[in-house]
A and B are shown apart, each in its own frame.
Chain A
Amino acid sequence: MTTVSPVREAEAPAVPARQKRRLPPKVLIGRIGIHVMLLALAVIYIFPFVVSVASSLKTNAEATQQPLRLIPETLTFAAYERLFTDVPLMKWTFNSALVTICVTLGRVFLGSLAGYALSRLQWRGRAFIFAGIIAVMAVPSVVLLIPRFLILYQLGIYDSYIGMIVPIIVDATTIFIMKNFFESIPESVEEAARIDGAGVFRTFWSVVLPMARPALITVFILSFQGSWNEFAHFIVSRQDPDLHTLTTGVATLVSGQLGSGNQYPIQLAAAVLMTIPVAILFFIFQRHIMSTAEGAEKG
Chain B
Amino acid sequence: MTSLARPRSRGLRGNEGPFGWLFTLPAILILGTFLVIPILLAVWVSFSNWNGLGPPVGGQAEFVGAANYAEVLTQPGLARRDFGIAIRNNLYYVLFVVPIQTAVALFLAVQVNQKVLKARGFFRTAFYFPSVTSSVAITVVFLYLFGASGVVNGVLNWLRVRGPNWFADPRGVFHIVLSWLGVDSVPSFLAGEGPLGVTWWEWIAGPSVAMTALIALAVFTTSGTFMLLFLAGLQAIGQDIEEAALVDGAGPVRKFFSITLPMLKPTLFTVLTLGLIATWQVFDQIYLTGGGAPAKTTLTPAFLAYSASFESLKWGRGAAISFILFGIIVVLTIFQRWLLRDREGSRRNRRRRARMAQAGAMAAITTGGGHGTGGGAGE
**B-contacting residues of A (Cβ < 8 Å)?**
1, 7, 9-11, 31, 34-35, 37-38, 41-42, 45-49, 51-52, 55, 63-65, 67-68, 103, 110-111, 113-114, 116-118, 121-126, 129, 132-133, 136-137, 139-151, 153-154, 166-173, 175-177, 180, 191, 194-195, 200-201, 204, 218, 222, 225-233, 235-236, 246-247, 250-251, 253-255, 264, 267-268, 270-272, 274-275, 278-279, 281-282, 286, 289-290, 292-299
Task: Give chain B residues whose Cβ lies under 8 Å from the Cβ of A251.
Answer: 136, 287-288
Q: Beyond A42-B126, A175-B27: 5 further Cβ-contacts under 8 Å?
A: A218-B362, A233-B376, A279-B132, A290-B128, A292-B362
Cβ of A140 to closest chain B Cβ, rounded Å? 5
Interface stretch of the complex, out of B185-193, B200-208, B338-346, B365-373? B365-373
Docked-complex contact B1 and A133, CB < 8 angstroms = no
Docked-complex contact B16 and A200, CB < 8 angstroms = yes
Docked-complex contact B28 and A232, CB < 8 angstroms = no
Docked-complex contact A151 and B355, CB < 8 angstroms = no
Task: Give chain B residues whose Cβ lies under 8 Å from the Cβ of A9.
Answer: 115, 120
Docked-complex contact B35 and A144, CB < 8 angstroms = yes
CA distance A229 to B371 in the complex (A): 9
- Chain A residue nearest to B139 (CB atoms) is A254
CA distance A51 to B270 in the complex (A): 34
> Could you say which of B42, B116, B236 contacts A146, with CB atoms under 8 Å apart?
B42
Q: How many A-B residue pairs have CB under 8 A?
A: 390
Docked-complex contact B28 and A52, CB < 8 angstroms = no
**A-contacting residues of B (Cβ < 8 Å)?**
1-6, 9, 12-14, 16-24, 26-28, 30-31, 33-39, 41-42, 45, 55-57, 108, 111-112, 114-130, 132-145, 147, 149-151, 154-155, 220, 224, 228-229, 231-233, 235-236, 267, 277, 280-281, 283-284, 287-288, 290, 302, 305-306, 309-310, 315, 318-319, 322-323, 325-326, 329, 351-352, 355-356, 358-359, 361-366, 368-370, 373-379
Docked-complex contact A141 and B378, CB < 8 angstroms = yes
Cβ of A142 to closest chain B Cβ, rounded Å? 4
Task: Give chain B residues whose Cβ lies under 8 Å from the Cβ of A191.
Answer: 12
CA distance A194 to B128 in the complex (A): 44
Docked-complex contact B359 and A172, CB < 8 angstroms = no
Task: Give chain A residues whose Cβ lies under 8 Å from the Cβ of B362.
Answer: 173, 177, 218, 222, 292-293, 296
Docked-complex contact A172 and B233, CB < 8 angstroms = no
Known contacts A233-B376, A286-B125; A296/B359 CB under 8 A: yes
CA distance A271 to B138 in the complex (A): 7
Docked-complex contact A126 and B310, CB < 8 angstroms = no
Known contacts A200-B19, A267-B144, A279-B132; A173/B364 CB under 8 A: yes
Cβ of B8 to closest chain A Cβ, rounded Å? 10
Task: Give chain A residues whose Cβ lies under 8 Å from the Cβ of B27.
Answer: 110-111, 113-114, 133, 170, 175
- Chain A residue nearest to B135 (CB atoms) is A231
Task: Give chain B residues whose Cβ lies under 8 Å from the Cβ of A1.
Answer: 358
Docked-complex contact A268 and B315, CB < 8 angstroms = no
Docked-complex contact A290 and B12, CB < 8 angstroms = no
> Could you say which of B13, B141, B305, B379 contacts A52, with CB atoms under 8 Å apart?
B141
Interface centre among A145, A191, A250, A267 (most CB of B within 10 A): A145
Docked-complex contact B4 and A65, CB < 8 angstroms = no
CA distance A103 to B41 in the complex (A): 25
CA distance A38 to B122 in the complex (A): 11
- Chain A residue nearest to B39 (CB atoms) is A147
Docked-complex contact A123 and B5, CB < 8 angstroms = yes
* The 5 nearest A-B residue pairs measured at CB: A141-B375, A232-B374, A141-B378, A123-B20, A147-B38
Known contacts A117-B24, A176-B361; A146/B136 CB under 8 A: no
CA distance A274 to B139 in the complex (A): 13
Known contacts A141-B281, A170-B30, A231-B135; A290/B228 CB under 8 A: yes
Known contacts A142-B374, A226-B369, A293-B231; A166/B34 CB under 8 A: yes
CA distance A275 to B135 in the complex (A): 10
- Chain A residue nearest to B320 (CB atoms) is A146
Docked-complex contact B126 and A226, CB < 8 angstroms = no
> Could you say which of A51, A116, A129, A133 contacts B151, with CB atoms under 8 Å apart?
A51
Task: Give chain B residues whose Cβ lies under 8 Å from the Cβ of A194.
Answer: 12-14
Task: Give chain A residues whose Cβ lies under 8 Å from the Cβ of B355.
Answer: 296-297, 299
CA distance A286 to B3 in the complex (A): 47
Cβ of A226 to closest chain B Cβ, rounded Å? 4
- Chain B residue nearest to A274 (CB atoms) is B137
Known contacts A38-B123, A121-B16, A140-B277; A230/B376 CB under 8 A: yes
CA distance A293 to B154 in the complex (A): 38
